[in-house]
Amino acid sequence: MRRYAWVGVILLAAGPAAVAQQVTVYNNTVTGTGSFLNGGTADQAGNLITRLVMDDLTFQAGSAGLAVNNIVFAVQNSNAVTVAARPRLRFWNADGVGGGPGTYFSNVGFTFNAIAFAPGASAFQFNPGPTFVIPAAERLWFGIVFDNNVGATGATLAQMDNLGVVLFDPPNVGSSTDNMFSTTAAGSFFLTNNPAGSLFNFGGTPAANVFWSVSVPEPSSMALVGVAVGGGLWRKLRRKA
């Protein structure tokens, strides 16, 4: 186990990532578990890309129908050097088998330009735009995958294997079950319904929950909740296939 430092919070998308009156409807950025996870990397026609790993997010009650204006996520780079890669975010409704990811959510997905990830854990925020509206079920699966843009970033397969999601628990706004989901194969899975894969956890040590925060413009019926971003010790977890 080694200690890593937070690099900071970086705005990824154009436009404001937050507004003066804002309420957080899901927050799991306070307590680090000391772990991170990479789903495994494959070479797909020259593009080094990881499996997609997801976590289920249940938003604060009363948030259905509200447009999200800020999403915060974190990336762990366990390499000793800075590594550039593209984070690609994907979302599913929780209407699959056993409450897993089923229908793709609202045609929404984000592929960012390559980011140079310094060694350690970094948090990033962006505004997904007005089409990202919390569904009536107030629950979604949030997923992330990394690639090297068909070699353009220069990241090797071994380096890609050392990029992953950061595990935090418990959420202090909203909730999440002790389950994650990993696709069977590597890929971006944009607009893919019922992606092939399986639910998994780590037997509670640590809880299978990922660093995410989601905010909306503050409605009069909801109280403002602040977001605190924490750090900690990180170890890499590998899920057996």
State pLDDT tens for residues 45-55.
999 999 999 99
User: What would the mean pLDDT of 215-240 be, rounded to a whole number?
Assistant: 59
Residue 43 lies in a domain: yes
Q: What is the pLDDT of residue 239?
A: 54
The DSSP output letter for 180 is E
- What is the rounded CA–CA span in Å between residue 46 and residue 147? 10
Q: What is the pLDDT of residue 3?
A: 29
User: What would the mean pLDDT of 118-126 be, rounded to a whole number?
Assistant: 91
Residue 230 lies in a domain: no
SS3 assignment for 96-121: CHHHCCCCEEEEEEEECCCEEECCEE
Residue 36 lies in a domain: yes
For the segment 54-73, what is each residue's pLDDT rounded down to a tens digit? 999 999 999 999 999 999 99
Q: What is the pLDDT of residue 73?
A: 94
How many helices, marked H, and strands, marked E, lie in the chain?
A: 1, 17
> pLDDT class for 235, splitting at 50, 70, 90?
low
The per-residue DSSP string of 116-140 comes to EE-SEEEEEEE---TT-B--TT-EE
Task: Using the Cα atoms of residue 13, residue 19, residue 24 and residue 25 in order, give the sign of their dihedral.
Answer: negative
Residue 238 lies in a domain: no
- The answer, yes or no, to whether residue 9 has pLDDT greater than 70, is no
Percent of the chain whose pLDDT exceeds 70: 82
User: What would the mean pLDDT of 131-159 be, rounded to a whole number?
Assistant: 98
Residue 40 lies in a domain: yes
Structural domain including 73 reads: 2-223
Residue 240 lies in a domain: no
**Containing H/E element for 158?**
helix 157-160
Q: Which residue has the higher pLDDT, 43 or 240?
A: 43
Q: What is the pLDDT of residue 237?
A: 61
Residue 236 lies in a domain: no
* Overall number of domains in the chain: 1
Residue 53 lies in a domain: yes
Q: What is the pLDDT of residue 241?
A: 43
Q: What is the pLDDT of residue 193?
A: 98
